[in-house]
Amino acid sequence: MAVIAKKQATKLVLAVENGVAADGSATYGQVGIRNVNPELTDENAYDVASAVGGLQALPVGSIARQDTSVLALA
């Protein structure tokens, strides 16, 4: 039997530089953007996250996309 994945939710996660560790390396916190349309393309998701990151007081180190899907038999 074939299994299909149905996209349920997408979350964008921005790693925001929020300080410096004792060894001089940057430390990061996370800012999450929930309830993103799962049909959004990766390019559009990046553009949205970049725009939101530009509103942050701290610099954005990276952007991640987390998709959740439900698996079912076809």
Entry pTM? 0.82
Report the pLDDT value the prediction gives residue 36, as an integer from 0 to 100: 95
pLDDT in tens, 26-56: 999 999 999 999 999 999 999 999 999 999 9
Please say if the pLDDT value at position 22 is more than 90: yes
Q: How many CB atoms lie within 10 A of CB 74?
A: 6
For the beta sheet containing 60-73, the strands, ordered from the edge strand earlier in sequence to the opposite edge, are 26-36, 3-20, 60-73
The dihedral built from the CA positions of residue 33, 30, 66 and 54, taken in this order, carries a sign that is positive
Task: Provide the token pair at 47.
Answer: 């553009």
Number of domains in the chain: 1
Name the residue range of residue 26's domain: 3-73
pLDDT category of residue 6 using cuts at 50, 70 and 90:
very high
Q: How confident is the model at residue 1 (pLDDT cuts 50, 70, 90)?
A: confident
